[in-house]
Every structure is written in C-alpha cells, then in structure tokens.
C-alpha cells in the first residue's frame, strides 16, 4: 500500500490523496460504510459498489465472536466470505471491548472481556488481534488500543495512553513475524490517544509517528466530549502527522463533523450514522435531515432530496417511504439506509472534488449553511 498526496487546500489542511491497496485504490477524503458483522446493515454489497463505496469497515470484535476465526479462515477471509472485492479496513476490537462487553479487565498483557452475546470470557492481546485480522484478511488492520472515557482523570489518561503505545509497538513487532494468509498485503495503522489533553495527544502522536506504521488513526474522540474539544485535538494532531501517510478519524460522524475534520487534514472516516439513523427513518439531504416517519410526509410525493440524482431519489417519494416505515416494511429501512449511504459517499466525493479544484473552503460554507437551514 502506498499513499499519494494529490493536493493540499490553500486555505486549510484539507487534502486529496490516493491510497493504493491490493484490492484497489481509495480516493481520499473517503467515507467508509460500516459492515460490522460482514454486512453494511440493509444494504447489499453490489449496492455499495453502485453508490461509489471504495472501502468498507469490518469489526474485529464482532467477527471474532461470530462467525469466529475458524469459519473465517475456512472461508478464505472476509473478502471471499462476504463477496466484497474492494478494500476492507478492520478495527482491532478495542473500542467494542470497552463499549459493549459486560466486564473487562485490562492488564499489560491485554484485555480480558466477557462476550456481549453469551458471557463467555475472551482475552484480546496486541498479538492475537493481529492474528485475528490476519485471518479476516483486511487490507488495513488497526492496532489494539485502550479507548478511555472522555471524562477520565489525567493520571488514568496518561497511563492508558502509555499502554496503548506499548501495545502498538507489540502489534508492529508481531505483524512483522507473520506472512499474510491469502497472498495479499495487509497494512497496519496506529491509533493515537490522549483524550482531549493537548500535551498527551501530542505526545501520543509523536511517539507513534516515530514508529513505522502505514497510517495513523485518531482514536478516543467522538466519545461524548464537546465537539469543539474534538476539533481542538485535530488541530493539535495534524501538524504532527506525516504528510505522506493516511489519517483516519475513527467513528466520525455527521456531515458537519466530517467536513470540519477534512478541513483539519483528515482523510478517512467511518460511522454507523447513515445506516443506524436510516433504520429509524431519519434521512440526510443537502437541506438537513428529516424524519420520514413524520405525518407531514404522508402526502409529500417529492423525492427525499430533490435533484439528488441517485437511485432512491430518482425512483421513490417521501410518501411511499413513509408508508413503508409506518407499516414496518423492511424495504423502508433498506431505502433509508441506501439513501444515507449514498449521501455520505457523495459528501466525501464532493469534498475531494472541491479540494482538487480549490473550491473546498467556499463550498463547505455554502453546503453547511444550506444543511443547517434545513427542514427538520
């Protein structure tokens, strides 16, 4: 994998680049749909391709529990298992262990946790999450990290950040011992921590960039802290990150968050918002969001976002989708999820185009003004 920087915005740290993997190129900035358990919820793989998805996410924690490493390896890895031939990024499972599991016990060795499915006990170590991701066969693997709560004490934050550093180093060392399983290369991204403390964040970033990772994720943000603190941490981070490597802001976010982070030098994003909110009937448009379950759309025969020329908008009305949602038809969830995924993919694709033409700054202001003035 290589990363080529094509252009940096003259008014901001926004950048356009190309990430090359064994399964194809990814044009950044990019939104990565989340396929937690080998499926982007209610969206078909061929539809992801249709709407321009270039890379999707898989969750190591979920895939490790089900179908489990044995089935995954017999399948020949996640690409074959789910019939997705474009790039895949997997997280390390760290975040899910800290947010989903009933019990966790962190030690130098790793993290012991109870499965949220059946209560069974499992140990994630820096080494075995690399092994699991090797079995998944993702194009981009993530290191194991600890993701502390946003209001953690400074002393906890410091110890945690140091532990994440040591774990990152162990991941790197362990990866070098192993050949990829399926004949394609797998790259490894580090994850910076440090909460919203500028010194710790800078220290974590500097330490990790001194090691030779293939890319850098910014972790431990979008976990409940004030949004201005998140942007402040991006302002601290991007000048310290190498220009020639991709940067990934984990778990972010809304169109606002994404554009403000692109402006702060971020290349890659993932978030469950498009599918999770889609399943609740909330859809994204260039004029804000709308809750399609609302009675006011019962006889609104316009498309979700008039003039937005994708499958859902050029085919179905708000009234029809509202009807499906109200009576509980699965197709309603599908249409809202498909629409939102295509909207988020359009957003990063357009941001990229605007960076390349030098219009990012003005377009972002116009887009956000219209988005904020929106309907709901």
| C-alpha to C-alpha distances, 338 to 246, 277, 319, nearest whole angstrom | 27, 11, 17
**Interacting span for a copy of itself (CB under 8 A) from 11-19, 139-147, 153-161, 330-338:** 330-338
- Encoded one letter per residue, x for contact with a copy of itself by CB under 8 A and - for no contact, window 334-353 reads x-------------------
C-alpha to C-alpha distance for 127 and 178, rounded to whole angstroms: 11
Partner residues linked to 90 by β-bridges: 58
- Encoded one letter per residue, x for contact with a copy of itself by CB under 8 A and - for no contact, window 11-40 reads --------------------------xxx-
CA dihedral 351, 353, 359, 364 (to 10 degrees): -20
Binding a copy of itself (rule: CB under 8 A), the pick from 167, 269, 316, 343 is: 316
- Active site (annotated) includes residue 270: yes
CA 142 from centroid of its chain's CA atoms: 12
Binding a copy of itself (rule: CB under 8 A), the pick from 14, 16, 26, 43 is: 43
> Which residues in 207-236 contact a copy of itself (CB under 8 A)?
none
**Interacting span for a copy of itself (CB under 8 A) from 51-59, 118-126, 217-225, 332-340:** 332-340
The answer to whether 272 contacts a copy of itself (rule: CB under 8 A) is no
Active-site choice (139, 145, 214, 270): 270
Binding a copy of itself (rule: CB under 8 A), the pick from 4, 10, 24, 44 is: 44
C-alpha to C-alpha distance for 255 and 369, rounded to whole angstroms: 12
Give the CA count within 13 Å in the CB-facing half-sphere of 162.
8
Query: Binding-site residue total for a copy of itself (CB under 8 A)?
Result: 37
Binding a copy of itself (rule: CB under 8 A), the pick from 151, 199, 329, 376 is: 329
Give the CA count within 13 Å in the CB-facing half-sphere of 132.
29
Token couple for 269: 């994003």
> Which residues in 119-138 contact a copy of itself (CB under 8 A)?
none
Three-state secondary structure readout of 211-262: CCCCEEEECCCCCCCCHHHHHHHHHHHHHHCCCCCCEEECCCCCHHHHHHHH
The answer to whether 247 contacts a copy of itself (rule: CB under 8 A) is no
Q: Which is nearer to a copy of itself, 74 or 173 (CB)?
A: 74
The answer to whether 10 contacts a copy of itself (rule: CB under 8 A) is no
Token couple for 339: 């629409």
* Cβ at position 280, least distance to a copy of itself in Å: 14
**Interacting span for a copy of itself (CB under 8 A) from 102-110, 135-143, 166-174, 311-319:** 311-319
Hey, is 351 helix, strand or coil?
A: helix
- Using alpha carbons only, give the angle 275, 279, 283 rounded to the nearest 5 degrees: 75
Burial of 369 (0-12, 13-18, 19+ CB in 10 A): exposed
The answer to whether 156 contacts a copy of itself (rule: CB under 8 A) is no
Interacting residue ranges for a copy of itself, rule: CB under 8 A: 37-39, 41-46, 62, 66-67, 70-71, 74-75, 81-83, 298-299, 301, 315-317, 319-320, 323-324, 326-327, 329-334
- Supply the residues annotated as catalytic: 91, 270
């Amino acid at each position: 994998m290589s990363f080529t920087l094509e252009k940096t915005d003259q008014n901001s740290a926004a950048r356009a680049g190309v990430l090359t993997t064994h399964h194809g190129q990814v044009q950044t900035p990019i939104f990565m749909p989340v396929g937690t358990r080998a499926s982007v919820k209610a969206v078909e793989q061929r539809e992801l391709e249709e709407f321009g998805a270039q890379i999707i996410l898989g969750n190591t924690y979920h895939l490790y529990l089900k179908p489990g490493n044995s089935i995954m390896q017999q399948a020949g890895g996640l690409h074959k298992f789910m019939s997705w031939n474009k790039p895949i990024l997997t997280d390390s499972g760290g975040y899910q262990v800290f947010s989903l599991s009933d019990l966790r016990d962190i030690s130098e060795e790793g993290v012991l946790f109870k499965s949220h499915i059946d209560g069974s006990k499992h140990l994630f170590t820096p080494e075995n999450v690399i092994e699991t991701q090797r079995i998944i066969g993702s194009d981009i693997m993530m290191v194991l990290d600890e993701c502390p709560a946003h209001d953690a004490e400074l002393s906890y934050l410091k110890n945690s950040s140091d532990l994440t550093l040591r774990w990152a180093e162990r991941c790197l060392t362990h990866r070098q011992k192993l050949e990829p399983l399926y004949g394609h290369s797998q790259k490894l991204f580090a994850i910076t921590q440090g909460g919203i403390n500028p010194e710790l964040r800078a220290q974590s970033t500097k330490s990790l960039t001194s090691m030779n990772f293939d890319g850098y994720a910014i972790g431990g943000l979008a976990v409940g802290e004030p949004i201005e603190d998140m942007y402040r941490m991006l302002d601290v981070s991007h000048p310290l990150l190498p220009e020639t490597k991709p940067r990934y802001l984990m778990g972010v976010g809304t169109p606002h968050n994404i554009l403000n982070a692109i402006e702060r030098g971020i290349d890659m994003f993932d978030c469950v918002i498009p599918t999770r909110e889609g399943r609740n009937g909330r859809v994204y448009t260039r004029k804000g969001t709308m809750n399609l379950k609302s009675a006011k759309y019962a006889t609104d025969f316009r498309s979700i976002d008039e003039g937005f020329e994708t499958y859902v908008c050029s085919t179905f009305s708000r009234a029809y989708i509202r009807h499906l949602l109200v009576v509980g038809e699965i197709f309603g969830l599908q249409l809202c999820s498909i629409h939102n995924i295509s909207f988020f993919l359009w957003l990063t694709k357009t941001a990229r185009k605007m960076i390349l033409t030098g219009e990012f700054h003005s377009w972002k202001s116009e887009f956000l003004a219209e988005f904020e003035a929106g309907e709901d």
